[in-house]
């Protein structure tokens, strides 16, 4: 392991990056971090270590709910006002902001993030790469994709758990048997299947919706298959037609009316801590069907390009503490289920410990394998709009019987108008 270097105040001054207030003691330096729930708690837990490193520097954590936080960061970057020194970002926003030029390029010599590349999960590092080679953020945690299934429901239906993952066809066939035998739905909503299939088979240089030259990809066979399988599951009555994070979704887990869920490994923590605590021991984890590999979110740290220059060296030190320090990464994993992006944590014995909520299964070993297999897709500045357009067209297919290829053709037409904006 390459240890994180701690710069002295003299070294920071030599780099021209530390304000004089921290040196002469006229007043304490305050570094502001803007974050969202769980990331804020993880950062707060690191403050005693930070104070040992920098006794004269306080960290002010400004926390907002997830949507409010990212809206505030979007506004701050576009107006260059009320900028924090460090901002936490969810992975999808990193990709969008990478194209805008509002974030500091950490590939610059004074940061040289490239020297740490081999220490980070490859796909997570690549998510922060801009088209011009800039690296705008450092990953702190990731969400390897996994299938969670209720082993009691599966057993009652006489389904072999391997049938859930062998192929999408066997997954759907197992769902029919589960529904017929137990009345439980296979999945909450078919959009979960669509989302995985859209992330499967992306070619090098492509994004989910656009290629590197902003050509629209939504009429490809990847999209056709995703829509076809989603429609098949809906017609068979295998999804509960409830959206993730809704009250109905949570009730489905509590009542045992949902047999499987496709999502990030962090979902185990959500289920065990608040969504469905009473179902502890009934769930198991597996890889996604048909060998699919998908990442579900993850948190990054970034610095606004126009933030106070005199505090940027300290901001970079804080980011390194949160992303490149083995103990900090493991602490976040053990207390908040934040799967670490730092590879040198992956040999820790904690990965081999049984997960009580999963009936003692050593599921973290599965997720570690998945993390290495995921590849990053290029993120286009219009990805958010594309998500809405494709989701809307899927609704037209599911609810109104719109032909799949017509729906994708209409989606492509809309996206082509926005591709180069």
- pLDDT digit string (tens) for 194-247? 999 998 878 777 888 988 888 999 999 999 999 999 999 999 999 999 998 899
Say if strands 29-35 and 86-90 run parallel, antiparallel, or are unpaired.
parallel
SS3 241: coil
Contact between 91 and 127 (Cβ < 8 Å): yes
Say if strands 260-264 and 138-150 run parallel, antiparallel, or are unpaired.
antiparallel
Give the pLDDT of residue 421: 66
> Within 201-288, where are the H helices?
221-235, 247-255, 267-270
Q: Which of 1, 58, 49, 53 is nearest to 27 (CA)?
A: 58
Residues 19, 22, 24: CA angle, nearest 5 degrees: 105
Query: Mind listing the pLDDT tens digit for each residue in 406-420?
Result: 999 999 999 998 876
Which residues fall within 8 angstroms of residue 277, CB to CB, at 6 or more apart?
271
pLDDT above 50: residue 24: no
Place 26 in a pLDDT band, splitting at 50, 70 and 90. Answer: low
Strands (E), 29-126: 29-35, 57-63, 86-90
SS3 249: helix
Place of tokens 């909520």: 357
Place 96 in a pLDDT band, splitting at 50, 70 and 90. Answer: confident
Phi, psi (deg, nearest 5) at residue 100 = -95, -15
Give the pLDDT of residue 382: 83
Show the tokens assigned to 134.
Answer: 């800039």
- 377: DSSP letter: P
**CATH architecture of the region 144-294+353-418:** 3-Layer(aba) Sandwich (3.40)
Strands (E), 37-155: 57-63, 86-90, 138-150
pLDDT above 80: residue 4: no
Distance from C-alpha of 276 to C-alpha of 66, rounded to nearest angstrom: 22
Average pLDDT over residues 21-48: 84
pLDDT above 50: residue 20: no
Contact between 258 and 187 (Cβ < 8 Å): yes
Contact between 372 and 378 (Cβ < 8 Å): no
CATH 3.40.190.10 region(s) of the chain?
9-142+297-352, 144-294+353-418
Q: Give the whole-number percent of the chain exceeding pLDDT 70.
A: 93
Contact between 369 and 117 (Cβ < 8 Å): no
Q: Which of 127, 421, 178, 50 is nearest to 301 (CA)?
A: 127
Distance from C-alpha of 68 to C-alpha of 163, rounded to nearest angstrom: 41
Average pLDDT over residues 42-65: 96
Neighbour count for residue 84 (Cβ, 10 Å): 23
Q: Does domain 9-142+297-352 have CATH number 3.40.190.10?
A: yes
pLDDT above 80: residue 123: yes
Query: Mind listing the pLDDT tens digit for each residue in 313-349?
Result: 999 999 999 999 999 999 999 999 999 999 999 999 9
Burial string for 85-114 (b: 16+ CB within 10 Å, else e) reads bbbbbbbbbbbbbbbeebbbbbbeeebebe
**Helix-strand-coil split of the chain, %, nearest 5:** 50, 15, 35
pLDDT above 60: residue 12: no
pLDDT above 70: residue 9: no
Average pLDDT over residues 349-361: 97
Average pLDDT over residues 151-167: 97
On average, the pLDDT of the chain sits at 90
């Amino acid at each position: 392991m390459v240890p994180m270097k701690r710069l002295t105040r003299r070294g920071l001054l030599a780099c021209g990056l530390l304000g004089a207030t921290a040196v002469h003691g006229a007043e304490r330096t305050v570094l502001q971090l803007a974050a969202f729930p769980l990331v804020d708690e993880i950062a707060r837990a690191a403050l005693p270590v930070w104070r040992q490193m920098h006794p004269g520097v306080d960290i002010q954590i400004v926390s907002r709910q997830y949507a409010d936080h990212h809206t505030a960061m979007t506004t701050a970057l576009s107006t260059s006002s009320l900028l924090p020194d460090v901002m936490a970002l969810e992975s999808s926003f990193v990709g969008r902001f990478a194209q805008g030029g509002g974030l500091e390029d950490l590939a610059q010599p004074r940061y040289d993030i490239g020297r740490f590349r081999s220490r980070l999960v490859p796909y997570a590092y690549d998510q922060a790469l801009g088209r011009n080679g800039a690296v705008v953020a450092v990953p702190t945690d990731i969400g390897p994709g996994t299938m969670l299934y209720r082993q009691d429901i599966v057993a009652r239906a006489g389904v072999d758990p391997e049938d859930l993952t062998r192929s999408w066809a066997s997954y759907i066939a197992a769902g029919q048997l589960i529904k017929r035998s137990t009345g439980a739905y296979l999945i909450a909503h078919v959009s979960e299947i669509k989302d995985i299939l859209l992330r499967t088979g992306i070619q090098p240089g492509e994004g989910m919706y656009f290629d590197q030259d902003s050509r629209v990809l939504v009429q490809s066979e990847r999209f056709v298959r995703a829509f076809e399988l989603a429609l098949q599951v809906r017609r068979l009555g295998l999804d509960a037609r409830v959206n993730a994070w809704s009250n109905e979704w949570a009730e489905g887990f509590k009542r045992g009316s949902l047999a499987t869920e496709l999502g990030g490994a962090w979902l185990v923590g959500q289920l065990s801590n608040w969504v469905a605590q009473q179902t502890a021991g009934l769930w198991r984890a597996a890889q996604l069907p048909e060998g699919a590999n998908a990442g579900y979110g993850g948190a990054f740290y970034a610095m606004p390009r126009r933030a106070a220059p005199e505090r940027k060296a300290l901001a970079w030190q804080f980011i390194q503490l949160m992303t490149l320090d083995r103990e900090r990464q493991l602490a976040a994993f053990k207390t908040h289920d934040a799967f670490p992006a730092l590879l040198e944590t992956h040999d820790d014995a904690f990965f081999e410990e049984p997960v009580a909520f999963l009936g003692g299964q050593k599921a973290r070993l599965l997720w570690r394998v998945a993390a290495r297999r995921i590849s990053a897709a290029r993120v286009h500045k219009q990805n958010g709009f594309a998500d809405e357009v494709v989701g809307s067209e899927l609704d037209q297919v599911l609810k109104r019987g719109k032909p799949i290829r017509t729906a994708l053709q209409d989606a492509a037409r809309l996206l082509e108008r926005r591709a180069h904006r």
